[in-house]
Each structure stands twice: as C-alpha cells, then as structure tokens.
Amino acid sequence: MTGPGNGPEVPAEGGLVAELEHMTEAERAEHDAQVADAVAPDRDMAVEIGQTLLEIDDLTVRFGGLTALDSVSFAIRRGEILGLIGPNGAGKTTCFNAMTGVYRPTSGRVLLEGKPLGKLAKHNITRRGIARTFQNIRLFAEMTALENVVVGTDARHRTSVLGAILRSPRHHREEKAAVEKAMALLEFVGIADRAADKAKNLPYGYQRRLEIARALATEPKLLCLDEPAAGFNPAEKEQLNGLIRKIRDDGYTVLLIEHDMKLVMGVTDRIVVLEFGRKIAEGVPSEIRENPAVIAAYLGVPDDDLA
C-alpha cells in the first residue's frame, strides 16, 4: 500500500484485511456487526418504516420540445428497495436529476418526508437526505478511496469554516470521526484493502462500490443508485445484490435504476416502470414480469430480457 500523502491518515484498521483473514466465523460476524453499526444512518426521520419517504408528484421535465418525464407520480416507502426501470431514454436518470436538484422540474413536485424540495440547491438536497451515484462514475480521481469518502461525510459536518481554519478541538474530533466512519464504509462495501489507493487506480468494480460508500457517507435518508451494475460480470452482480440488501438491512431506503432484470427482479421490493417519460406500470416484481405493457416496452430491446 502506498502512503496516504497529505490527506487523512489511514488508521490502524488499514491492516484489517489481514486481520480479517485470521478471524473465526464468530469473530467475523461480531466484527461485521460492528461495521454495520458504524455505517448505519444516525439521523431523525419524520416517517416510520413503511410510510412514504419520498413522493414524486405529477413530475414533468421538458428539454425544449422533448418531454423526458411526463406527469410521473410514485412514492418510495421508508425501508424498501424500489426499482426504477424502463428502456433507454425512458427518463430514469432525468427523474434522479429532478429529485437531486440537477434539473428543475418543468412542473410537479418532489416531497421528502412530506416537505417539498422546492428550489433547493443540490448540496442542500444532499443535506436534507437524498444521495446518489452516477450512471457514469464521478469520483475525485486524484484522491485516495478514503479521501473520496471523507469528502462525502462533509455534508454532515457541523463545524464552521472558521473552526476548521483555527483547527478547533471540535473540528479535530469531527475529522477523526469522519476518517473512522469513512474506513468503516469502505469495509462495509468491501474495498477497505485499497483505502490508500487513488480512485483512478482502482479496478472498475471498486470504483463503483466507492461511489456507493461516498454516497452513504452523507447518511442519506434515501440512496439513489443509477445503474450500479453497469459493466459488471454475473459474479459481481451477485455481490452487488448482497450489498444492496445489506444497505437496506442497515436502515437505508434504496431507489435503484438498473437494466439487468435478474438483479432488479431479485433485489427489489417494488418496481416502477417508465417508457417514453410516462409511468406505464408499478407493482411487485412478479406483477411487473407479467405485465403486458412492460413486456411490450421491452420487446426489441436486444441486451436484456425479462427472464
């Protein structure tokens, strides 16, 4: 492993991969539980498990003459894994962009815990509790994996800029806590062995998981994943399935855009289907698989099937 440079130092846990190999099964389970605990979201939520966490209300997004999203409404319940699927160009990423402040909706609203997001800027939406990954990976290429995640924890920091400049004790404590949390997140997503490597030098699958760790660092109420399995082989997809479940079991709510039907059908609780910007179906995976409108939407799409 290379040195951590000027960034946050990799704590002693940096050697944890070697340690983990020597653990008994019981010790490993205990260790995993501790990691999950360190990673679990720690914030007040206004809605209970199973209640509506995020509501997309009659959302329309137009680009010039093109209607990318056309009066779409659906809700995400706290604690579920909701799939958002549809053929290429259906409006899935546009929906994420409208939810996270990248685009302003032409009309309609997005409500988190019953409160409209209105015209909040991107970083304020992150603070309110929506985090996302990108269809095309966006990491700080020259920063280490650990630093990329520490940056994510900044969204939850409370010290002022002045506190940071004066290196107040509170700032110091927060920085130490951020590094520890970031390390736990790297372990949680399974890439702690490369904590000190620059993001650009990580294998592709690691970069995708690093993006998830960075999004989780903001302690989101809702985690939105845009095609996290793109470019993955079947074994990696299987691992990702496990990771998404683990994230939910840890107390997060997940919105998943994904083309791989095996993964979508296997991991989601419910699915919303878009086609040409319209919602054409919503239901549990077994209903969606048999829905004639969904089957028709996917006919002629060569790379995926609804098997």
Interface ranges with ligand ATP (CB under 6 A): 63, 66, 68, 86, 88-94, 135
39, interface contact from ligand ATP, Mg ion, none, CB < 5-8 Å by kind:
none
Least Å distance, CB 127 to ligand ATP, is: 24
Ranges assigned E (strand) in the chain: 52-63, 66-77, 81-85, 107-112, 115-116, 130-132, 222-226, 253-257, 270-275, 278-283
89, interface contact from ligand ATP, Mg ion, none, CB < 5-8 Å by kind:
ligand ATP
Least Å distance, CB 61 to Mg ion, is: 13
Encode 208-271 in three state secondary structure.
Answer: HHHHHHHHHCCCCCEEEEECCCCCCCHHHHHHHHHHHHHHHHCCCEEEEECCCHHHHHHHCCEE
Cβ-based neighbours of 218, under 8 Å, separated by 6 or more: 126, 127, 131, 152, 153, 155, 156
Q: Cβ closer to ligand ATP: 91 or 105? A: 91
CA–CA distance, 135 with 228 (Å, rounded to integer): 7
Q: Cβ closer to Mg ion: 84 or 210? A: 84
2, interface contact from Mg ion, ligand ATP, none, CB < 5-8 Å by kind:
none
Least Å distance, CB 295 to ligand ATP, is: 18
Q: What are the tokens at 188? A: 């949680």
Q: Cβ closer to Mg ion: 134 or 140? A: 134
91, interface contact from ligand ATP, Mg ion, none, CB < 5-8 Å by kind:
ligand ATP
Q: Cβ closer to ligand ATP: 89 or 266? A: 89
Residue labelled with tokens 């003459």: 65
Least Å distance, CB 303 to ligand ATP, is: 11
- Chain position whose Cβ is nearest to Mg ion: 93
Q: Which is nearest to 125 in space by CA: 228, 256, 41, 215?
A: 215
Least Å distance, CB 92 to Mg ion, is: 5
Least Å distance, CB 99 to ligand ATP, is: 12
Q: Cβ closer to ligand ATP: 149 or 272? A: 272
Three-class SS of residue 146?
Answer: helix
Positions in the binding site for Mg ion (CB under 5 A): 92-93, 135
